[in-house]
Chain A
Amino acid sequence: MKFIKPHRRTHLRTARPKPQGVFTSRASAYRLRQFQDYLARRRRGLRWLSQRVRRSPLAIIGLVLVLFFSFVALAAPWLAPPPSGARNPYMIPRASFRPYPEPPESAAWRSFPPDWHKHPLGLTGDQYDIYYGIIWGTRTAFRVGFEVTFSIVFVGVLLGALAGFFGKRIDNLIMRVVDIFLSLPALIGAIVLVSFMGKGLNSVIIAFIVFGWPFYARLTRGEVLRVKEVDYVNAARASGASNLRIIFRHILPNAISPVVAAATLDIGSQMVGVATLSFLGLGSPEGYADWGQLASFARNWIVGSAGDPTQYWYVIAFPGIALLLFVLSFALLGDAFQEILDPRMRGEGR
């Protein structure tokens, strides 16, 4: 739709407040008050959100888990100090070159943080230290989850907003591209791309970005279409705001909440996607602190000897639990956000 802008329009602004205190210019005082209003609105919004989160026990569990993992990631050099002279702390040290796993040693837990030289959570099939791998792998997990999710949300929201706002040809073009990308499952597409691009953690991250954004484009487009024809957008348009300003100031803030909820939920699952490729041997190089790869060491050691089938339980149990809890933490948070932000999901009488 094209609007004819009046050549010179009258300003419909209220009088600016009188300057007070240190603010000599009237404009800066006005800006300050605008900013204070904005902060107050933000604070009210946050308080409302935090009240909702506090009321949901599942969300609290999720939040605690996220905080716990953040702590582990930040404190990694203290929890598992890298061996002296190590060039890259992310490479898991090997206890020896023997081919079989070794069980956890409880003696290592007498002090805190435990001494990983005594392998507190055991050793994998190639004698990589599981405790060290899990602690440093937390950093990898966060890095991977955030990098992938932020990138795909950025690209997806941008394209989705363009498609939804401008409609017609642009919409058609973008959405057909989205359809095409969506007909190749993300994991399958990522495996293809990684195998042709060359193995490695970075190519896996790129691959998941390439195949991840269409979901957000579709989601954002739907929301933008919903918001586009609302009165305040028409008002902004009538007062001569530019298209970009309408998109970023009026439409997106009102269309973004489902995207935020979905993205929170997605941080964990994108991490699992990358871990899956590492598990298959397409991701991080051998010995890199990555939970997926740590779990892949278990493939040859699932079942123990005839008399003792659970002999090597620790090889899968600890990396598996770390992976599960990490996904769960973000899933619980995201689920709570979805429930809070989607009025349909709210219970009656609340």
Chain B
Amino acid sequence: MIAFIIRRLVILPVIILGVTLITYAMFSLLSPAEQLAAYVSSPTQLHGGTAAVERLIHTYGLDRPIWERYLNWLDNIFHGKLGWSTYANMWVSQAIAAYFPATLELAIYSFIPVIIVGIWLGVLSAVKQNTIIDHLTRIMAILGWGFPSFVLAIFLILIFFGILGWFPPGRLSTWADLVVSNLTSFHFIRYTGLNTIDGILNWRWDITWNAFRHLVGPVFTISFLEWAILLRVMRASMLEVLRQDYVRTARAKGLPERVVIKKHARRNALISAVTVGGLLVLGFFTGGAITETVYNYRGLGYFFVFSATQLDSAAIMGTALVISGGVVLTNLIVDVLYAIIDPRVRLE
């Protein structure tokens, strides 16, 4: 058990180093002058024309061989210097810290429906295999799996904002945004950065309500795309478990079907559902980036996409590193969890 975890921890730095290597390799496709944009923090530094650019290229070592540049950059990264974001007009680390709570809030609220609905429908679909319920669930899963997130988001905005006027895009309405950023007479304290929770803590229920209304659209979009993953795995593993001998034994000793399903089958099927945890997080970042962009929901994904379209290289690399760090961390947690739940894995 311990050995397994240690082995995982040993691989971890290798993977993180590999990700930085890939990221920097992609970055080095740019010319030195373009790369410079990731180092320069104000336009005044560029005063002086070509000579100044040449000098800066030399100062930042951009004319050195690639491995030397990579090591320099790596050194900066480990000291927390991710560079200057021209798009956000602040340091990349500041920008990420500013945008992160929004994405975290989205993630928390998206995972609740995904897990509940995914597990419930997966079990239902397996128990009633090849009935109309199973077919409908599978169609829904395929739809969720295949629906391009940007199309779904636009359809939802058209229906729930355009026609019904319930769930507006954005993160907060203008008046609420003013309150939250302390531009009104009300003294709003940011405890967590999550609007829904800060609203309650400041006893401003109208802010919480407003934040929830803005969250419904993106949350629904992301979870609709995500629960297909969980549902498919849950259905497959449930089908396998239901054919095991211990389930037959449970039935044979006369247990009611409800107990057999809930206590004997579902619990064991849940073990392999843990493995998709990493996939879900991966899907969240992918779907989240698009969803945030379409909904104008200012989170990490939104920041990433907009810096990518404007070639804000420092921001692109910084955000990509943070995202892959999140993925690596989740995979680690999932692996360890899996090893704790399922003793067979440890013997690998």
Contacts and interface: CB of A to CB of B under 8 A. Distances in A.
Interface of A: 58, 176-177, 179-181, 183-189, 191-197, 268-269, 272, 275-276, 279-282, 292, 295, 298-299, 302-304, 309-310, 313, 316, 319-320, 323-324, 327-328, 331-332, 335, 344-345, 347-348
Contacts of B147: 324, 327
Question: Does more than half of chain A's interface fall in helix, strand or loop, or is it mixed?
Answer: helix
Interface in B236-269: 236, 239-240, 243
B89 to A, nearest CB: 19
Contacts of B323: 184-185, 188
B151 A345 contact: no
A250 B11 CA distance: 33
20 contacts: A58-B135, A176-B18, A184-B19, A184-B324, A186-B286, A188-B286, A191-B305, A192-B308, A192-B317, A192-B320, A196-B313, A276-B150, A280-B290, A282-B309, A295-B150, A302-B161, A302-B162, A309-B163, A320-B151, A331-B145
Given A196-B26, A302-B158, A303-B161, A280 B327 contact: no
B244 to A, nearest CB: 12
Interface string B211-231: 000000000000000000000
A176 B154 contact: no
Given A176-B18, A281-B309, A299-B154, A275 B148 contact: yes
Interface string B12-39: 0011001101110011011000000000
A310 B163 contact: yes
Contact of B154 (A179, A184, A186, A298): A298
Contact of B22 (A184, A313, A332, A335): A184
Interface of B: 11, 14-15, 18-19, 21-23, 26-27, 29-30, 129-130, 135, 138-139, 142-143, 145-151, 154-155, 157-158, 161-163, 236, 239-240, 243, 282-283, 285-286, 289-290, 293-294, 304-305, 308-309, 311, 313, 316-317, 320, 323-324, 327-328, 331
A176 B14 contact: yes
A185 B327 contact: yes
A183 B19 contact: yes
A177 B282 CA distance: 18
Given A327-B146, A332-B142, A316 B289 contact: no
Contacts, number: 159
B193 to A, nearest CB: 22
B142 A328 contact: yes
A343 to B, nearest CB: 11
A191 to B, nearest CB: 5
B146 A331 contact: yes
Given A192-B317, A331-B145, A345-B236, A180 B150 contact: no
A58, A192, A310: most-surrounded residue (chain B CB, <10 A): A192
Contacts of A197: 26, 29
A121 to B, nearest CB: 16
Given A304-B162, A327-B147, A332-B142, A316 B313 contact: no
